[in-house]
């Protein structure tokens, strides 16, 4: 069994370089790789192209990298509640490629499956279709979308083992599994790290063959995951 465990986020991200293209998992602010994002901030690399469902908020997630102007281009679907993102986009400091959520997910999945391109009706008739090949299937226009490839994919899972097998929780399954398959090197941070054989094989979402590095994360803020409790007085 190949041992894929690394010490921490800094160890897992040590060879990410300025100018790299990085996929960062998570759905909104749920299931984002908080530890690795902090490691990237501390590494002070720049010129990054980040592919993510969200662009973080002003003081959380990818918002930290935006504040330090470490991101050159943002490829994402949801970019709300982020004044710094808005400022950089309007000033021309930040390149932005906004993609429909379903198309973003499928372009990540296509990369992991080795499919270079595919046709989809999503975005036809909007700015998204500008300059793209259009074909008709069953009487309906479709545009050609290409797969999104990345030098590194960074994902966050609930549980994992040292062989790289991963289990995600809840809505974190929306983008993390797809991105885990699409990076040349995939780095996974998990809340619980166990030995091979301890995870139920029927529950595994990402097989370890797609993961090169894994570590147990810590101090997760989980800002969007809150519990409301009513007290009877």
Question: Is-contact 186 160, C-beta < 8 A?
Answer: no
Give 3-state DSSP helix, strand, coil % of the chain, rounded to 5: 25, 30, 45
Residues of the chain where predicted confidence (pLDDT) is lower than 70 = 1, 225-226, 233
Task: Report DSSP letters for 84-151, one per residue.
Answer: HHHHHHHHTSSEEEE--HHHHHHHHHHHHHT--EEEESTTTTSGGGTT--EEEETTEEEEEEEPP-EE
Burial of 232 (0-12, 13-18, 19+ CB in 10 A): exposed
Position 129 scores a pLDDT of: 94
The whole-number pLDDT of residue 229 equals 77
DSSP conformation letters of 52-80: ESB--BTTBTTHHHHHTT-EEEEEESB--
Domains of the chain as residue ranges with CATH:
9-115+149-216 (3.40.1080.10)
- Tens digits of per-residue pLDDT, 4-22? 999 999 999 999 999 999 9
Instruction: Using alpha carbons, select from 13, 10, 21 the residue that is nearest to residue 52.
Output: 21
Please enumerate in sequence order all residues whose Cβ is within 8 A of that of 82, keeping only pairs 6 or more positions apart, or say none.
Answer: 55, 56, 57, 58, 63, 66
Look up residue 119 and give its two tokens. Answer: 């046709």
Question: What is residue 225's predicted lDDT score, i.e. its pLDDT?
Answer: 67
Terminal CA-to-CA distance of the chain, rounded, Å? 55
Query: What pLDDT was estimated at residue 224?
Result: 74
């Amino acid at each position: 069994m190949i041992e894929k465990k690394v010490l921490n986020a800094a160890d897992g991200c040590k060879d990410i370089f300025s100018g790299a293209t990085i996929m960062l998992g998570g759905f909104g602010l749920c299931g984002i790789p908080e530890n690795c994002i902090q490691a990237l901030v501390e590494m002070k690399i720049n010129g990054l192209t980040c592919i993510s469902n969200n662009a973080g908020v002003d003081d959380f997630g990818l918002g930290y990298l935006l504040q330090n102007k470490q991101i050159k281009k943002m490829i994402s679907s949801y970019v709300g509640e982020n004044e710094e993102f808005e400022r950089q986009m309007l000033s021309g400091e930040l390149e932005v490629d906004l993609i429909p959520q379903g198309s973003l997910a499928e372009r990540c999945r296509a990369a992991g499956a080795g499919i270079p391109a595919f046709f989809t009706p999503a975005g036809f008739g909007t700015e998204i279709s500008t300059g793209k090949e259009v074909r008709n299937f069953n009487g309906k226009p479709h545009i050609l979308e290409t797969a999104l490839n990345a030098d590194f994919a960074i994902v966050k899972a609930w549980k994992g083992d040292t062989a790289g097998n991963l289990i995600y929780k809840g809505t974190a399954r929306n983008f993390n599994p797809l991105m885990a398959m699409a990076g040349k090197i995939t780095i996974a941070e998990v809340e619980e790290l166990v030995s091979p054989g301890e995870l139920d094989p029927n529950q595994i979402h990402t097989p370890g063959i797609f993961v090169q590095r894994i570590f147990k994360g810590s101090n997760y803020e989980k800002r969007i995951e809150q519990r409301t409790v009513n007290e009877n007085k």
